[in-house]
């Protein structure tokens, strides 16, 4: 009986340590996989855009700017994918997302192409592909946050120190810079002109 009283806490602590250890290693593996998923989605984007360009060409021949934007975005993504640098890849992905608003304006200006199925399809696919990249990034952010919270919170922090787990960077975002500052122009309420 006394042996059991001594052994039981030891067994419980050991079980806890194993599960915490496994959390750290599996999280690390998942973060790595999630980062690869971003690359995967961007590759899909590179293959998708030329197809979309080809199918929408006839309808958008007057919209040279949009075409140029789309081509530029595709090139940027392609070169970023080749370089294998995640940071560059996701910056290039943002360019694809920027085509969509421009395309919307063009469609509004040209009622004759508004109803065309090809253009609707193009817009749907563009939104979808940029969503996919965005959500792939979301997974990296969430997984890294879970991991890093566990790393510093007690009592899992003891175990993390013992086994030398270090903070995961996840997506690198500068901690200083324009995107964190609010300028005067941002404070004004947006004005929408309808005429």
Partner 1 sequence: MNNIYEAQASNRLKSVIIIIGFMLFVGVAVYILMQALGIYFGYQPGGLGGVGIAFIISGLMSFGSYYYSDKIVLGISGARLADRKRDFIFYTVTENLSIASGLPKPKLYIIDDTAPNAFATGRDPDHAVVCVTTGLLQKLTRTELEGVIAHELTHIRNYDIRLMSVVAVLVGTVALLADWFLRMSFWGRRSKDDRGSSQAQAVIIALGLIFAILSPIIGTLIQLAISRRREFGADIGAVSITRQPDGLIKALQKIAHDREPLEAANKATAHLYIVNPFKAEGPERSRRNPINTFSNLFNTHPPVEDRIKELQKMA
Report how far apart, in Å, the C-alpha atoms of 136 and of each of 44, 70, 179 are.
13, 21, 21
Does 41 help bind partner 1 (rule: CB under 8 A)?
A: yes
Q: Tell me which residues in 74-103 interact with partner 1 (CB under 8 A).
A: none
Report how far Cα 188 is from the mean position of its chain's Cα atoms.
29
First to last CA, the chain: 86
Q: Provide the total of helices (H) and of strands (E) in the chain, helices listed first.
A: 7, 0
Counting Cβ atoms within 10 Å, is residue 1 exposed (0-12), middle (13-18) or buried (19+)? exposed
- Which one of the spans 21-29, 88-96, 103-111, 132-140 is the region binding partner 1 (CB under 8 A)? 132-140
Does 30 help bind partner 1 (rule: CB under 8 A)?
A: yes
Does 32 help bind partner 1 (rule: CB under 8 A)?
A: no
CB of 61 to partner 1, least distance (A): 25
Does 151 help bind partner 1 (rule: CB under 8 A)?
A: no
CB of 10 to partner 1, least distance (A): 26
CA dihedral 22, 27, 30, 31 (to 10 degrees): -150
Among 65, 91, 109, 124, contact with partner 1 (rule: CB under 8 A): 124
Does 132 help bind partner 1 (rule: CB under 8 A)?
A: yes
State which residue, 72 or 142, has the beta carbon closest to partner 1: 142
Does 109 help bind partner 1 (rule: CB under 8 A)?
A: no
Does 143 help bind partner 1 (rule: CB under 8 A)?
A: yes
Does 167 help bind partner 1 (rule: CB under 8 A)?
A: no
CB of 64 to partner 1, least distance (A): 28
How far, in Å, CA of 164 to CA of 161, rounded?
5
Which residues, 6 or more positions from 66, have their beta carbon under 8 angstroms from its beta carbon? 60, 99, 102, 103, 106
State which residue, 26 or 87, has the beta carbon closest to partner 1: 26
CB of 132 to partner 1, least distance (A): 5
CB 172 within 8 A of CB 144: no
How far, in Å, CA of 10 to CA of 6, rounded?
7
Under the rule (CB under 8 A), what is the footprint of partner 1? 30, 34, 37, 41, 124, 127-128, 131-132, 135-136, 138-139, 142-143
């Amino acid at each position: 009986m006394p042996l059991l009283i001594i052994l039981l806490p030891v067994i419980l602590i050991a079980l806890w340590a194993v599960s915490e250890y496994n959390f750290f290693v599996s999280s690390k593996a998942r973060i790595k996989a999630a980062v690869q998923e971003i690359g995967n989605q961007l590759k899909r984007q590179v293959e998708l855009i030329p197809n979309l360009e080809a199918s929408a060409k006839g309808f958008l021949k007057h919209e040279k700017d949009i075409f140029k934007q789309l081509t530029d975005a595709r090139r940027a993504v392609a070169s970023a994918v080749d370089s294998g640098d995640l940071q560059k890849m996701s910056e290039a992905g943002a360019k694809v997302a920027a085509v969509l608003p421009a395309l919307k304006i063009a469609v509004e200006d040209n009622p004759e192409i508004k109803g065309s199925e090809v253009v609707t399809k193009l817009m749907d696919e563009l939104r979808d592909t940029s969503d996919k990249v965005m959500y792939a990034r979301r997974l990296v952010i969430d997984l890294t946050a879970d991991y890093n919270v566990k790393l510093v919170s007690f009592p899992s922090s003891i175990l993390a120190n013992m086994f030398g787990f270090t903070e995961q960077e996840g997506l690198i975002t500068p901690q200083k810079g324009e995107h964190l500052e609010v300028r005067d122009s941002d404070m004004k309420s947006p004005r929408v002109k309808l005429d």
